[in-house]
Amino acid sequence: MIKLLAMYLPQYHEIEQNNRWWEPGFTEWTNLKRAVPLYPKHRQPRIPLNNNYYNLLNKDTLVWQAQLAKDYGIYGFCIYHYWFEGVQLMEKPLEILLENKDINTHFCFSWANHTWTKAPGKKDEKILIRQTYGDKEDWLKHFKYLNRFFVDDRYIKIDNKPILVIYNAVDIQCWDEMKKYWNKLSKEAGWSGIYYISTLKNEGDIKAGNEGGFDAQFEYQPTFGLRRNNKLNYGFWYHFKYNVLNLKIYNHISKFNYDRVWKCILKNSTKSKLKTFLGAFNDWDTSARWGHKGSVMCDASPAKFYYYLKEQIRRSEKLENDFLFITAWNEWSEGAYLEPDNDVKYGYLEAIKRALDY
């Protein structure tokens, strides 16, 4: 039976840094509430069902999310983890999860090891916090923190190895030394090592995973399917339109066809020596975060998601995979969320349950 893991964003509570960098009270909900429709029938703003703008510092919210996911067949969450050479961001929901064993879900971490910037891609781009990797002193602190979660029975393991997803494997220049040291520490802690999974967003990530000695990789969708632009397919057209034709100067959002994006994903096969877990996405609209500079997949629906997810589950079974990663549980500002909203209600969750029962 394929186990579905939903990517999980913990940015739904105030942190001191975001209050300083953006504005007092800033959370992921801030951008969502400001979203406006940018063309006829554009489904914005997205509103959580019953105006449930939750706070992840509330344990009851985590209990609700865990039970909801379980009710609709989601095995667990792959939670973004932020560590900047000892500086942590958005760690409190993770620690609430750790402290409360009655939150009934499985989970693992994806180390979101990227630099945070303001106004990315613009001349006035500002670094908010830079991702750095330190030395063995920091690696030891990082491992000790991670191991607090690894020992939890709910943390997902493969062959007595806790899973650790790395978002940007290509960026860690000290990876070989860090990995070797972490494996040593993990074996001293009673594990058989760490099960490292790289995140595939483009072709370069395939090379980084192979050369970096990863155990597996997973296709982060829809990004990976669209960035395999070495062929004249829809992925190539997507980037040509987004980066060349549009040039982001005409002040209108880039719109793309949901079905064509999914067909592009289903046709791609990753040629790699590594075990490859497949990915899926239910919807996509980044206009809440980027306005006219964003992109949207038009004509997404629970019915279509059910069909394409069912195909990915079948493909995963042929590959004899254990897991399939879904974008995402609660990326509301990117339009990628499974949680119920005022328009679709529980439609995407119901699609998951049906797809698992095919």
Tell me what the mean pLDDT of segment 214-226 comes to.
93
Please report the beta strands in 30-156, taking only residues with DSSP state E, as ranges in sequence order: 74-84, 87-89, 106-111, 116-118, 126-129
Distance of CA 140 to the CA centre of its chain: 26
Identify residue 346 by its one-letter amino acid code: Y
Q: Which long-range contacts (CB under 8 A, 24 or more apart) does 95-102 make?
A: 96/56, 96/57, 96/59, 96/62, 97/62, 98/148, 98/149, 98/152, 100/59, 100/62, 100/63, 101/152, 101/154, 102/63
Label the pairing between strands 74-84 and 87-89. antiparallel
91, 82 contact by CB (below 8 A)? yes
Residue 280's nearest CA partner among 327, 235, 321, 323 is 327
pLDDT, position 220:
96
Task: Dump pLDDT digits (tens) for 292-305.
Answer: 888 899 999 999 99
pLDDT in tens, 130-148: 999 999 999 999 999 999 9
* Model confidence pLDDT, tens digit, residues 147-156: 999 999 999 9
Name the fold adopted by 3-356. TIM Barrel (3.20.20)
Q: What is the pTM of this model?
A: 0.94
- Chain-wide mean pLDDT for the chain? 92
Task: Look at residue 245 and tell me whether its pLDDT is greater than 60.
Answer: no
Domain boundaries, the chain: 3-356
CA–CA distance, 228 with 38 (Å, rounded to integer): 28
Instruction: Give the whole-angstrom CA distance, residue 244 versus residue 233.
Output: 16
Question: Does residue 216 contact residue 277 with C-beta atoms inside 8 Å?
Answer: yes
pLDDT of 310 strictly over 90? yes
Q: What pLDDT does 238 receive?
A: 60
The average pLDDT across 98-122 equals 90
Read off the pLDDT of each residue in 79-93 and give the average, rounded to a whole number: 97
The type of residue at 205 is D
Alpha carbons 222 and 79: distance in angstroms, whole number: 18
Picking from 3, 142, 175, the residue whose alpha carbon sits closest to that of residue 76 is 3
Asked whether the beta carbons of 312 and 277 are under 8 A apart, the reply is no
Confidence of residue 323 (pLDDT cuts 50, 70, 90): very high
**Peptide bond before 222: cis, by omega within 30 degrees of 0?**
yes
Q: Please give the average per-residue pLDDT across 316-342, as a whole number.
A: 97
For 20-61, the pLDDT digits (tens) are: 999 999 999 999 999 999 999 999 999 999 999 999 999 999
Q: 202 falls in which pLDDT band (50, 70, 90)?
A: confident
Closest CA to 166 of 141, 138, 197: 197
Tell me the C-alpha distance between 148 and 136, whole Å: 18
DSSP for 277-324, please give it: E-EEES--BTHHHHGGGSEEEET--HHHHHHHHHHHHHHHHHTT-SEE
As a whole number, mean pLDDT of residues 80-102 equals 97
